[in-house]
Amino acid sequence: MKTAPYFQGTGRRKTSIARVRLVPGDGSVVVNGKPLDEYFAGEAISQIALMPFQVTNTARRFNAQVKVEGGGFSGQIGAIAHGIARALLQSDAEHRGALRKAGLLTRDPRAKERKKPGLKRARKAPQFTKR
């Protein structure tokens, strides 16, 4: 039995990591065993995760199976978009220009800065008294 070809991509944003597998299909997106709309219930921002499909006009060509962990909603959605974009690049290298122009191939390196000793937060110092 021959299995259908699939394409993989790993996306990251903040502390979230998404492992994406694209399989030829009707365009359904399953995140951690749930449909995308159910996993990010009430989050209109979840459409950002599907942006790579819109940019490359491949909206109904692939089913996406995603495992995502870490971070919050925003980070997970960004990681899914990054992973889908990298998987689409494997399927067809012609998509590179469109994905690059939309900024979907660049990993967003911004993350929370660590707390330093002697400070209250990463940069906030205790109140200074002169006398």
What domains appear along the chain, each with residue ranges and CATH number?
7-101 (3.30.230.10)
Rg (CA), the chain: 19
Query: pTM of this prediction?
Result: 0.89
pLDDT at 1: 52
pLDDT tens-digit profile, the chain (131 residues): 556 688 999 999 999 999 999 999 999 999 999 999 899 887 778 889 999 999 999 988 999 999 999 999 999 999 999 999 999 999 999 999 999 999 999 999 999 999 999 999 999 999 999 98
Query: The sheet that has 16-24: what strands, in order across it?
Result: 7-13, 16-24, 62-69, 29-31, 34-35
